Structure 1
């Protein structure tokens, strides 16, 4: 697991991301990947650092491969999905993700559960529980009442 670099031929670095799509790459994995690509690009013997969208899609780091004319609209799809969700839960989820990634899995589980507990007394979990997995339009008036 992790990010590694090998050189099967002089001037041909191969950066391998060993995180499976099921578990996804942790935030540190993306930093490690970026550092490996920058290091490969800084090597004066290297003439090209590349990867196709199809390769990245196969490894799980690209969501969808589309023609160039659909790229912007498709790239905005995840943001649209997230913005349609309950804002309070999104903020809690973001705080949990940012806090759990760099620490031991046992400690991070408890950390994440604290956010789950925080959502319950506020009523937000009761409000969205029945809509889990559904496309629910964001209601700004309801968000401001929270």
Structure 2
């Protein structure tokens, strides 16, 4: 369990998250993921990173129960951990492909929104249920996946969108049956990894350099409002109504 790294083929590093039951990461898990991504990107042998997950879904965000149990220290830790993990994906020295199945919620949006490419299975759904869970954040990353007005509607309603819908908006590279997901992701990674390694790293730096939005600064701004919601008591009021629904299966 946790975050593991493998290299199935030359130039390709696969990072796999496995935190049962739904890959809702605790504070330490976000930092571990950030370290794994940065380590893979620093390895001169790596030309492409696949970010994958085991289990029922790709990512269900932060561990709400940990925040409820540990209070403000866990909230601060989760904020910092998410910030580091999202930044690690964005700043990885080589392209990162997010390989998404099942649900991709909350912090999962931060990961895929900062990835270079998304390959998803037909059963994948994406959303930010933050307002239902006493939190804010990752609108920065959702805005990288869908147009501005759709992002706002999704954010305010906590609704999800399918992989097919994101494909129609150009955010998802390919949508494939679940049993073909890994092969499709490896096909793309193999094509990328065939390029010159040094030139790939220059290309990643150049593309990040022309990004119209500073994702680190934008997300950090959002996090300030998450903390304000906690200090004011609004977050606790909403979290107290949060039940056992953590599998990301709800569609509105």
TM-score after normalising by structure 2: 0.29
Structure of larger gyration radius: 1
Higher strand content, 1 or 2: 2
More relative contact order in 1 or in 2 (CA 8 Å, sep 6+)?
2
